[in-house]
A and B are shown apart, each in its own frame.
Chain A
Amino acid sequence: MPEPIMTPPPTIVEDINRAPDTGRVPDDLVKPPHIQDITPNSRKSYKRGLKLVDRKTYVKERALEALFLACAFVAVLAVFLIFVFTIYRAAPVLTEIGFAEFFGLDWAPSEGSYGIVALLLGSLLVTAGSLALGVPLAIGCAVYLVEIASKRVSSIVSTAVDLLAGVPSVIFGFFGLVMLRPIIADLTGGMGFGALTAWLVLAIMIVPTITTLTMDALRSIPMGVREASYSMGATKWQTIYKVVLPAAKLGIVNAVVLGMGRAIGETMAVLMVVGNAPVVPESISSPVSTLTSQIALDMGYSSGLHRAALFGMGVVLFVISASLVGIVRFFSRERGERVDSREAERERERRERLTKATPVELATEGPDLSATQIAQAAEVQENSRKRIKRHLQNGTSAKVSKDVTNATMITIFKVAGWLATGVLALIIAFVAWNGLPVMSLDFIFGWPEGVNAEGGIFPTIVSSLYVTALAMLICAPIAVLAAVYLAEYAKQGRRVAFIRYAADTLSSVPSIVMGLFGFALFVEAFGFGLSMLSAALALALMMLPIVMRTTEEAIRAVPRYIRWGAYGLGATKWQVVSRVVLPTAFPRIATGIVLAIGRAVGETAVVLYTMGQAINLPVTPLDSGRPMTIHLYLLANDGINMQAAYGTALLLMLMILAFNLFARYLSHKSAGKAGGK
């Protein structure tokens, strides 16, 4: 390669090791130390006269950095566009409907009333109930997995939780509609549509989100805290609820808030079970409607003011979810000052797993501890599990009641853990049991025939894969380069915080709002029509923050000494990134992309009004089509050819499980490889 290879003069190395003399928080508190400012070719060093490379290389490096920055700003641009465009389309709400009427109780578009309060209340009712059911279950599950379960059991249950997170919402809705609704109908004597059914379905759906985040929070509590509690004679239960849970309080609150965001933004599953009556419901078993479900229901045929009102509802949803993200960030920032913040802890764990870092290396993160002290601490942590077990075995307790409470509570946590696994098994069994008889090569490779879509579903499979591939083609390069910028180039500061905030907000945008936006911008304004391209662009925006986050984590997990080695050989930054960092991080990046593919295949609300719904084998990106998720939704709604619905659900589920298991395999493989070094 043309770049001149030079050995950096020793002054640079000194420069690296010198602690930053600014009064700000040291960089390694907010940014892992392994990506400290080793920037021999930065503008600063160039200006200082440290011309390590020739002008041409310097320009190239700067141009690449600018490109990465541009990619990172795509997320910001997207959030901005979504907000502005949705508001723009909702403008008639202010000019023609009026604010007061928009926040009125009457939703009757055919009679010219556009009050959203009943729908807003419906959203809140459905969310509140699902949280009340889901939060205890999720926290119980997380406590069981982190504090109680053995490693083997824990890996089974957490796999189940991960897979449950991957099940598409339309399948949850289908399950709720066909399985739960009749049961609720028999129990309540009504029709089974209403808040109660939605609670159950949504509770199942938010459990994985809350469980995973709570587990992170619990893991970040230092082992010593628990040991102190045990040494005071506390039982496991006492330790959990008096010590561990309060210590992890902030993390858990964040988890719950994010779960709430998921519940309030959920569309398809809710749409299928609430009964869609836009009123304040008489009881929890009478039909109700929510903001998201009403948008999905009305969007297809609405026009004029009605459509503007739907966009107005989109704005309301956007504001709600963005402020939930704001709340989480506010809490996290307070925690961010502390060394044992969730993120830092997670990061440390990741690197530990990946690089088998020595205690000395870890010591760089801790405050003012000598290497030996750290080594001791690390050893203590490693053995603590064993020690606690020993203590628990030997310890004789004075009070029986204490033990009984302990045993009872442990059992409850156990039940919570297994309940999550059971639900996954139940859903898989339900889909498989009903779908297997339909399964045949004709079903997979055949075309739908007749008005009730008998025959096969081949075009829908192709449409699903087509749109997902196209979305990934658009999203993955941008997301990866953006992550490269965030992890390798960016200085921690306002700009990065801003980009992260944008990415978090983007990932919290309810899928139906993304669908609305995609319809307004890509379908109508850009004139792509109902097409693969429109749907793929909307999907790409949806996937962007997910791939960005996983890629950034993957890049950060690359040990810094590898970078040092490369820099030491005189490589430029781009050489280090492209030849060393990205290839090393590749398996984990691939894992993230595969997971995102799984999500994209199962996405429904985004593509509902961007792709069209006609059955068609797409050839060009401007063709429309009907993906499997929408096929399933329409079949389930029609409620006529349910056999085809079960078959579609089974295939969809199998595809998504396959992607998720493949992602797990990739990540295990890479972890194993790293461990083997």
Chain B
Amino acid sequence: MAGRVKRLLALGCALALALGLAACGGSETATLTVAGSTTVLPIAEIAAEDFEEESGVHVLVSGLGSSAGIEAVINGTADVATSSRDLTPDEAKEGLSQYAVAHDGIAVIVNDANPVEDISLDDLQAIYDGKIENWSEVGGEDLAIQVVNRDEASGTREAFRTIVMRGTPFDRTAAVLPGTGQVRDVVARTPGAIGYISIGFVENRFTTATVKTLDVDGVEPTEANLESGAYPLSRDLYFFTKGPAQGEALAFIDYVRSSAMDATIRDAGYVPVGEEAAEPAEGSGGAEDAQASTAGGGGDA
């Protein structure tokens, strides 16, 4: 019996020692730290894995939100920040370089049974700030509108806020759901619901429930309209580095923007930045074209 206690103690000591040793020998040769947006996280993770296989550079990816990632790059704890939003004026003063990695369109979705086909940006704003509460006010049936919003960590919400709300606060009685699929599912089940999700998730091979997209200001949310810029609800996903990207960071960003990542980016529900960005990114001059701007002036935010 006493032996058992002793053996257990010995085992514990051995384990602690092993863990301690492992901690000491943990540092790798070339490591790139990528932190930021949870929206970009899946893409960044897959890119990191493939990139590591190709170049041998160890890429550590973590997702705690765009703000945390940008802060990490500013104070030097991370090499690359991933973000689903532009820089705030404060952040823009820190001399970060900006690289667009994907386009994203936001589709406004309603229940299949809803007869409404088209909505104006102004009506959308009125619905989301709680001024319009019934579908009959926007040409539908006499049915209460049930507003579904995303959580504040969501880049989609941020983009929706910038494009649609334009300074008006969101109606706070709306349900706040923390995931694209949930919004889709709830809207598919609830007759009076309205929500917004990335265009790539409207049609989804994981689910059979369907939702209907609304045209916004008469423009259908298609990839073509997105790339042409006709569809108003669109945004870009970015990578940021402190100063122009160099060495491994640049190689990684180039990899994410290359055609090798197109399928993954589409899988995640976004539209790749396309050949016009991928081609110049082959050379090291990719950072200097229009896609990358050193946000020193800070006037664009």
Residues of A within 8 A of B (CB): 107-111, 177, 182, 185, 190-193, 275-279, 281-282, 286-287, 289, 297-298, 300-303, 450-453, 469-470, 473, 476-477, 530, 578-579, 582-584, 586, 609, 612-616, 619-624, 636-643
A466 nearest in chain B by CB position = B19
Bound Cα distance A640, B203 (Å): 11
A-chain residues with CB within 8 Å of residue B180 when the two chains form the complex? 638-640
Contacts of B1-45 to chain A: CB distance below 8 A: 1-2, 4-5, 12, 15-16, 19, 22-23, 25-26, 38, 41-43, 45
> Smallest CB–CB gap between A293 and chain B, Å?
10
> Contacts A182-B189, A297-B153; is A473 near B16 (CB within 8 Å)?
yes
> Smallest CB–CB gap between B1 and chain A, Å?
3
Cross-chain contact B45 with A613 (CB below 8 angstroms) = no
Which of B38, B161, B178, B201 has most A Cβ within 10 Å? B178
CB of B137 within 8 Å of the partner chain: no
> Contacts A579-B2, A614-B61, A639-B184; is A297 near B38 (CB within 8 Å)?
no
CB of B174 within 8 Å of the partner chain: yes
B24 nearest in chain A by CB position = A620
Contacts of B132-181 to chain A: CB distance below 8 A: 146, 148, 151-153, 161, 169, 172-181
A-chain residues with CB within 8 Å of residue B41 when the two chains form the complex? 613-614
Cross-chain contact A275 with B62 (CB below 8 angstroms) = no
The segment out of B64-72, B113-121, B241-249, B281-289 that lies at the interface is: B64-72
B-chain residues with CB within 8 Å of residue A282 when the two chains form the complex? 173
B-chain residues with CB within 8 Å of residue A190 when the two chains form the complex? 146, 190
B-chain residues with CB within 8 Å of residue A620 when the two chains form the complex? 19, 22-23, 25-26
Bound Cα distance A71, B212 (Å): 61
Bound Cα distance A187, B203 (Å): 28
Cross-chain contact B172 with A191 (CB below 8 angstroms) = no
Cβ contacts A to B, 6 pairs, < 8 Å: A191-B146, A282-B173, A301-B64, A303-B67, A613-B64, A637-B178
Bound Cα distance A303, B38 (Å): 16
A-chain residues with CB within 8 Å of residue B184 when the two chains form the complex? 639
> Smallest CB–CB gap between A525 and chain B, Å?
14
Cross-chain contact A298 with B176 (CB below 8 angstroms) = no
Count, chain B residues at interface, CB 8 A: 60
B269 nearest in chain A by CB position = A451
CB of B225 within 8 Å of the partner chain: no
A-chain residues with CB within 8 Å of residue B181 when the two chains form the complex? 637-640, 642
Bound Cα distance A451, B148 (Å): 24
Cross-chain contact B172 with A615 (CB below 8 angstroms) = no
Which of A276, A301, A530, A642 has most B Cβ within 10 Å? A301
Contacts of B171-210 to chain A: CB distance below 8 A: 172-186, 189-190, 193, 201, 204, 206-207
Cross-chain contact A578 with B264 (CB below 8 angstroms) = no
A-chain residues with CB within 8 Å of residue B62 when the two chains form the complex? 530, 612-614, 624
Cross-chain contact B148 with A582 (CB below 8 angstroms) = no
Cross-chain contact A301 with B153 (CB below 8 angstroms) = yes
> Contacts A276-B175, A278-B172, A638-B180; is A586 near B5 (CB within 8 Å)?
yes
A-chain residues with CB within 8 Å of residue B67 when the two chains form the complex? 301-303
Bound Cα distance A62, B297 (Å): 68
B-chain residues with CB within 8 Å of residue A623 when the two chains form the complex? 26
A-chain residues with CB within 8 Å of residue B179 when the two chains form the complex? 636-640
> Smallest CB–CB gap between A173 and chain B, Å?
12
> Smallest CB–CB gap between B245 and chain A, Å?
21
B-chain residues with CB within 8 Å of residue A530 when the two chains form the complex? 62, 64
A-chain residues with CB within 8 Å of residue B5 when the two chains form the complex? 578, 582-583, 586
CB of B267 within 8 Å of the partner chain: yes
12 additional A-B pairs beyond A193-B186, A615-B45, A640-B206, beta carbons within 8 Å, are: A185-B190, A277-B176, A297-B153, A297-B178, A301-B64, A301-B68, A303-B71, A451-B267, A586-B1, A637-B179, A640-B201, A640-B207
A-chain residues with CB within 8 Å of residue B16 when the two chains form the complex? 473
B146 nearest in chain A by CB position = A191
Bound Cα distance A301, B185 (Å): 25
B-chain residues with CB within 8 Å of residue A451 when the two chains form the complex? 42-43, 46, 264, 267-268
B-chain residues with CB within 8 Å of residue A276 when the two chains form the complex? 151, 175-178
Cross-chain contact B61 with A583 (CB below 8 angstroms) = no
Cross-chain contact B172 with A279 (CB below 8 angstroms) = yes
Interface of A is mostly: loop
Partner of A277, one of B26, B169, B172, B204: B172
Which of A609, A642, A643 has most B Cβ within 10 Å? A642
Residues of B within 8 A of A (CB): 1-2, 4-5, 12, 15-16, 19, 22-23, 25-26, 38, 41-43, 45-46, 60-68, 71, 146, 148, 151-153, 161, 169, 172-186, 189-190, 193, 201, 204, 206-207, 264, 267-268
A645 nearest in chain B by CB position = B181
B-chain residues with CB within 8 Å of residue A615 when the two chains form the complex? 45
> Smallest CB–CB gap between A302 and chain B, Å?
8
Cross-chain contact A621 with B22 (CB below 8 angstroms) = yes
Cross-chain contact B65 with A287 (CB below 8 angstroms) = no
Cross-chain contact A300 with B22 (CB below 8 angstroms) = no
B-chain residues with CB within 8 Å of residue A622 when the two chains form the complex? 23, 26
A-chain residues with CB within 8 Å of residue B207 when the two chains form the complex? 640, 642
Which of B42, B46, B176, B264 has most A Cβ within 10 Å? B176
Which of B16, B38, B64 has most A Cβ within 10 Å? B64
Bound Cα distance A98, B66 (Å): 28
Partner of A583, one of B2, B12, B71: B2
A-B pairs, 8 with minimum CB distance: A639-B181, A301-B65, A583-B1, A451-B42, A620-B26, A276-B176, A637-B179, A640-B181
A-chain residues with CB within 8 Å of residue B148 when the two chains form the complex? 191
Partner of B190, one of A191, A277, A279, A286: A191
Cross-chain contact B152 with A298 (CB below 8 angstroms) = yes
> Contacts A185-B190, A470-B19, A477-B12; is A108 near B169 (CB within 8 Å)?
yes
> Smallest CB–CB gap between A473 and chain B, Å?
6
A-chain residues with CB within 8 Å of residue B175 when the two chains form the complex? 191, 193, 275-277, 287
Bound Cα distance A298, B64 (Å): 11
> Smallest CB–CB gap between B23 and chain A, Å?
5
Bound Cα distance A622, B25 (Å): 11
Bound Cα distance A279, B147 (Å): 14
A-chain residues with CB within 8 Å of residue B4 when the two chains form the complex? 583, 586
Cross-chain contact B61 with A279 (CB below 8 angstroms) = no
Bound Cα distance A190, B182 (Å): 15
> Contacts A191-B193, A473-B12, A641-B206; is A578 near B2 (CB within 8 Å)?
yes
A-chain residues with CB within 8 Å of residue B45 when the two chains form the complex? 614-615
Cross-chain contact B19 with A621 (CB below 8 angstroms) = yes
Bound Cα distance A192, B169 (Å): 24
> Smallest CB–CB gap between B146 and chain A, Å?
6
B178 nearest in chain A by CB position = A637
A194 nearest in chain B by CB position = B175
B20 nearest in chain A by CB position = A621
> Smallest CB–CB gap between A573 and chain B, Å?
15
> Smallest CB–CB gap between B49 and chain A, Å?
9
Cross-chain contact B19 with A286 (CB below 8 angstroms) = no
Bound Cα distance A39, B14 (Å): 34
B201 nearest in chain A by CB position = A640
Bound Cα distance A640, B177 (Å): 13
Bound Cα distance A583, B153 (Å): 51
B-chain residues with CB within 8 Å of residue A452 when the two chains form the complex? 42, 206, 267
Bound Cα distance A616, B169 (Å): 38
> Contacts A450-B264, A586-B5, A639-B185; is A277 near B206 (CB within 8 Å)?
no
